[in-house]
Amino acid sequence: MNPYLITPNIIKETANGTTYCPIQDELFTAQRSVEVVGEITKDSVYSLILQLRCLHHSAPGKEITMYINSPGGSVCDGLALYDVMAAVKCPIRTVCVGMAASMGALLFVAGNVREMLPHAEVMIHDPLITGISGSALSIEESSRRLMNIRQTTAGILAGHTGHTIEEIYEKTRQDSYFNAEEAVAWGLADRIITEI
C-alpha cells in the first residue's frame, strides 16, 4: 500500500495561496530523514539511494536520519543501499522503529549512530534462497553464491558489532532476535531512545 494514500498532507500558506505538502516531503526537507519501511526491493532501494544522494549534495557532512521498520528483502538491492550509505559523506543515524530484520538489520547496524525505540527488535540470520530448480551444476553455483553472500553479510555484521565472524555465524545459523536492551548489549545498537 502506498503510504502517500493513507498519510495526511501538511497545509501551507504561501504567497500563491494554500498548498499541500506530503508529510514525508516535509520531514525529508526539514529534518533530513528518510524511511526504510516494508520489504527491501529494487524500487524501494532506488528511491532511498536518490534521497541519500540528494541530501548529501544539498548539505555534505550534515547528519541524515534513517528510520527503519523492515522485515528485510533482497540482499543484492540491500547491499547497494549499504554501499551508498558508506559512500555519502554525511553521517547516517539509524533508528529502529518496530523491527529491523534480515537485510533491514544490516542496514540498521551500518549507521554511524544506531538507536532503538524501547520495544523495537533486531533479527539477524543467514541469507535465504527459495525456489531453487535447474540442473545440478546450476544448483551448485547457486549454493556457492549463497555461501559468498553469507560471508559478505557476516563480515558486515562483524565489522559493525565488534564480534568475530565465528560469533556472527553462531548467531545467524538460525533466526536470532534481540530486544532493544539485548541489541545494545550485543553491539547491534548504541542506545535506546524514548524521543525522536
Which residues are tagged catalytic?
A: 102, 125
Cα(143)–Cα(22) distance, rounded to whole angstroms?
44
Q: Which grid cell sits at 131?
A: 525456489
Residues 6+ apart with CB under 8 A from 105: 72, 122, 123, 124, 157, 188
Which amino acid type is present at position 5? L
Helix, strand or coil for residue 140? helix
Burial (CB count within 10 angstroms: exposed 0-12, middle 13-18, buried 19+), residue 17: exposed
Terminal C-alpha separation, the chain: 25
Cell numbers placing 97? 522503529
Strands 176-179 vs 191-192: parallel, antiparallel or unpaired: unpaired
